Amino acid sequence: MKLIFVHGRDQQGKKPVALQGQWELAWNEGLIAAGLHRPTPLDVIFPFYGDKLDALVKATKSPLVAGVLAKGGSDTFEAEFRGNLIVEMAQNAGITDADILRNGGAGVAEKGPLNWGWVQSILRALDELPGGETWIDLFTRDVYVYLTFQAAREQIDAIVNSSIPDEPCVVVAHSLGSVVAYNVLMKRANPTNVLALITVGSPLGMKTIQRYLTKPSSYPTVIKSWFNGYDDADVVALRALFGNEFPGTPLITNNADIENATNNHHGIIHYLDKPTVATWIHQSLTGFS
């Protein structure tokens, strides 16, 4: 059996073998906590696109949100995309207009993703949450480049797609990696070769992201089951994935009761080491063999 791990953003400059080892070690800890043993034989595959994504983002010369919104003009599309993403994060994180105004000042009365003062005030309000303003800003930049630059998307997708075999396998994807995995699986034709797609810390529930997914949005026909886990304090994951957004059968299994101990409630290690996630992976690998 093959297990494919699809990582998220901010992995540039790291050694793929070391990263894979960290993922496997965390999953092993989750298995122990669940009273389970690692299935054998098992071939783990770790498609690494961290350096490629970093190079593509730099090639676009995409600045941080402050620079985009301050310049406007030809950058209006990027400003609107990333501004909408930040507004949606704030709404789902329970940040109120009063919180935004408290972190702002002149120029924040007018709401909207193209109002520089308003978006900056939202970022400052989000900065009060674990993870901070800069991390959220960088996340929106990488997502923007991947989803809206066709050449960038094709290069990242190709790396992941080439690692998914036609034989039965299980795909575990984190953060931006869940968006990549979804797009890749939507374009594959081999029926039900993916016994399970397991997404953790996934931003697929964001409307801003859903507008740019492979169309029409649905439950990928190549997967037999879909499990989605998140910490409800994870500002990237935000909420459950619903059947009306990804229609198909069986329904997506959501679990928001995963307590992620990393500072921003988003790190992959403290998703994989949880018994719930470890068990999902184990059962997906063993339950259909």
Instruction: Name residue 105's beta-bridge partners.
Output: none
Query: Looking at the predicted structure, is the pLDDT value of residue 250 above 80?
Result: yes
Percent of the chain with pLDDT over 70: 85
Task: Dig out the tokens for 262 from the structure.
Answer: 């990393």
pLDDT, tens digit, for every residue of 3-53? 999 999 999 999 999 999 999 999 999 999 999 999 999 999 999 999 999
Mean pLDDT of the chain: 86
Any residues with CB less than 8 A from the CB of 96 and at least 6 apart, and which? none
**Which residue did the predictor score with more confidence, 136 or 128?**
136
Q: Tell me the pLDDT band of 289, cut-offs 50, 70 and 90.
A: very low
- Residue 155's φ and ψ, nearest 5 degrees, are -70, -40
**Which residue did the predictor score with more confidence, 206 or 99?**
206
Instruction: Name residue 143's beta-bridge partners.
Output: none
Instruction: Summarize the confidence of residues 228-254 as an average pLDDT.
Output: 89
- Residue 131: per-residue pLDDT: 55
Instruction: Summarize the confidence of residues 235-249 as an average pLDDT.
Output: 87
Any residues with CB less than 8 A from the CB of 75 and at least 6 apart, and which? 68
- Residue 152: per-residue pLDDT: 93
Query: Looking at the predicted structure, is the pLDDT value of residue 78 above 90?
Result: no
Percent of the chain with pLDDT over 90: 56
In whole angstroms, give the CA distance from residue 175 to residue 66.
23
Q: Tell me the pLDDT band of 159, cut-offs 50, 70 and 90.
A: very high
Q: Tell me the pLDDT band of 111, cut-offs 50, 70 and 90.
A: low
What CA–CA distances, in Å, run from 10 to 52, 140, 177?
11, 12, 11
**Which residue did the predictor score with more confidence, 115 or 106?**
115
pTM here is 0.89
Q: Tell me the pLDDT band of 2, cut-offs 50, 70 and 90.
A: very high
CATH number at 2-47+163-286: 3.40.50
- Residue 87: per-residue pLDDT: 82
- Residue 68: per-residue pLDDT: 63
Domain regions of the chain by residue span: 2-47+163-286, 59-148
